[in-house]
Homo-oligomer: A and B are copies of this chain.
Amino acid sequence: MTQPWEERAKAKRNAILAAIPEEWRIENPPVNQQVDVTGKYVQQFLNEREIEITETAAEGIVGRIAEGSWKSENVARAFCHRAALAHQLLHCLHEVFFDAAIADAKALDEYYAKHKKTIGPLHGLPVSLKDQFHVRDVETTMGYVGWIGTFEGKTGTEKEKVFESEMVRELRECGAVLYCKTSVPHTLMSGETVNNIVGYTLNPKNRHLTAGGSSGGEGALIGIRASPVGFGTDIGGSIRIPAAFNGLYGIRPSSGRLPYSGMANSMDGQNSILSVVGPLATSAGSLKLVIKALLDKKPWLHDPMVHEIPWREEQEQGVREGKLCFGVLRSDGIVNPMPPIRRAVDMVVKALLDQGHEVIDWTPPSHQPLINASMQTWTFDAGIDVKRAFALSGEPMAPQIDFYSSIDKEMTASEIAVVNVNLRTLKKEYLDYWVSTEKKTGIGRMVDAVISPLAPFPAARRERYKYYGYSTWVNALDLTSVVVPVTEVDKGVDKVVEKYEAIDENDREIQNDYDPEIYDGAHVSLQLVGRRLQEEKMIAIAELVGKVVGK
């Protein structure tokens, strides 16, 4: 292990590229020359059939395969091809295993030919995975150079390239085809995806911007339509940020709904605010498809942290019948959203009102203590765990996560207990507020969902992700949240605010980062936040909101 980290990183970087077939190699144009690589740009490298397949949502894909009009193998090849292009343009993959995927897809086609039925609800569906999932025959580096060739930094565990995470097993049983693992920021603790192996993951719609993080590779890959659906994780926004920045649907389920068992993680064992796993996809229906498929496998029999709550149709039903009530959070009072986000909020509110739904102002207890508590939990161990991972190779931390270098004192049991009691108290206050809206709405029911920014910006500019408050409050409260794409930045409409009245210097600085020229064309998304463990209902509401804004 005396090899310099630069060489190890380079070897891994080259190995990822080497796994891409020669015939799928392309030139990567400079960012300024080609800002947007989605749509026509990436389509030029694909044939018509590949374009049709890759631009179909997950539920469409499984439908075509189930009815026999598409073959799993063709679907797998199309997505592998597009993923190869995506990685070359965006640096979004950590592991590439197209051969295994195509072999699995062939086996599924054989099964279908023989049995005249699918093997499960995801038969032939390509599914991409954030590089925290362990998949046999490939590594999990989580962006750490020191994890290359190891199992979570250790060797001789007998788990290397053999062990699979629980959800991987379930996805395979459902018939999903696994073909790649996607990039993350080392430590996972950033809204930008950057590490010393693949570098910086770019936003396909606007390569001036980040693809988001920490499930940034997922965001980029699905954003460019090189995956129909993929799984990320979220402890402070890491599913929702890349979903929002790439114009996707993405759900942060409450903890205990989907199986996290057997995944690599940072600061594993911190259990005050748990990281959760959930899907990102191009439609709300795709989120439902994969979550329902997984819940039908009874994950509570295989992951002791999963609650025995099957998919509840009746929760969706409630949404489809009649009038809903929304709360709208236009600003959290700490940092104001940029103009395109504000416009997106107005669009959603107007569209819902036009459909006869009710929208009231959301004036909850301050989010500041929730944001503070989240940050505290991320630094309980003063970064001991992540520093250990960096020390394995001697690689440097990216500037995006260097807040870990300035701390060195771990919290004690009684200090952590104070944080836990505080979090519980804050949750109670927030819930009480939520329930109190029953008396504020015209229809005598509490708010069904809160329309909220997910970040103050459509996407962050490089090294300018300065505020996480719009995503972390949801984690602190363990609520259900679904990101919904709303619109795109239009520099002709989304002007800089003249004489902006800033809340404070921090707010001014963030607002100053808004540059219509740079942001033009970027995706603008919002989140819909529901109470804890409301996954079915929130996906149904996300579908409804997506429809009313025309997405």
Interface residues of A (CB under 8 A from B): 256, 261, 267-272, 300-305, 307-309, 380-382, 384-385, 410-414, 416-421, 424, 427-428, 430-432, 435, 477-478, 531-534
Interface contact A268-B435, CB-CB below 8 Å:
no
Copies of this protein, total: 2
Contacts of A256 in B (CB 8 A): 307
CB distance from A253 to the nearest CB of B (A): 13
A261-B428, A428-B303, A428-B304 as given contacts; A270 in contact with B410, CB under 8 Å = no
Interface contact B421-A268, CB-CB below 8 Å:
yes
Interface contact B413-A382, CB-CB below 8 Å:
yes
CA distance A267 to B416 in the complex (A): 11
Beyond the given pairs A271-B271, A302-B431, 12 more chain A to chain B contacts, judged by CB atoms under 8 angstroms and listed by A's residue number, are A261-B428, A268-B417, A269-B419, A270-B413, A271-B420, A302-B432, A304-B424, A304-B431, A308-B532, A380-B413, A381-B417, A385-B417
Interface contact A271-B272, CB-CB below 8 Å:
yes
CA distance A410 to B416 in the complex (A): 11
A435-B301, A532-B300 as given contacts; A414 in contact with B421, CB under 8 Å = no
Contacts of A410 in B (CB 8 A): 412-414
Contacts of A431 in B (CB 8 A): 301-304
Interface contact B411-A412, CB-CB below 8 Å:
yes
Contact of A304 among B268, B304, B477 (CB under 8 A): B477
6 A-B pairs with least C-beta separation:
A269-B417, A304-B427, A380-B413, A269-B420, A381-B413, A269-B421
15 of the cross-chain contacts (CB-CB < 8 Å) are A256-B307, A261-B428, A269-B414, A269-B417, A269-B418, A269-B420, A271-B420, A307-B533, A308-B534, A380-B413, A381-B412, A381-B414, A385-B414, A412-B412, A416-B416
Contact of A270 among B301, B302, B385, B417 (CB under 8 A): B417
CA distance A430 to B303 in the complex (A): 10
CA distance A418 to B413 in the complex (A): 13
CA distance A419 to B413 in the complex (A): 12
CA distance A466 to B416 in the complex (A): 30
Specify the chain B residue showing the minimal Cβ separation from A261.
Answer: B428
Specify the chain B residue showing the minimal Cβ separation from A301.
Answer: B435
Interface contact A305-B417, CB-CB below 8 Å:
no
Specify the chain B residue showing the minimal Cβ separation from A254.
Answer: B307
Interface contact B424-A305, CB-CB below 8 Å:
yes
CB distance from A316 to the nearest CB of B (A): 15
Specify the chain B residue showing the minimal Cβ separation from A427.
Answer: B304
Contacts of A420 in B (CB 8 A): 269-271
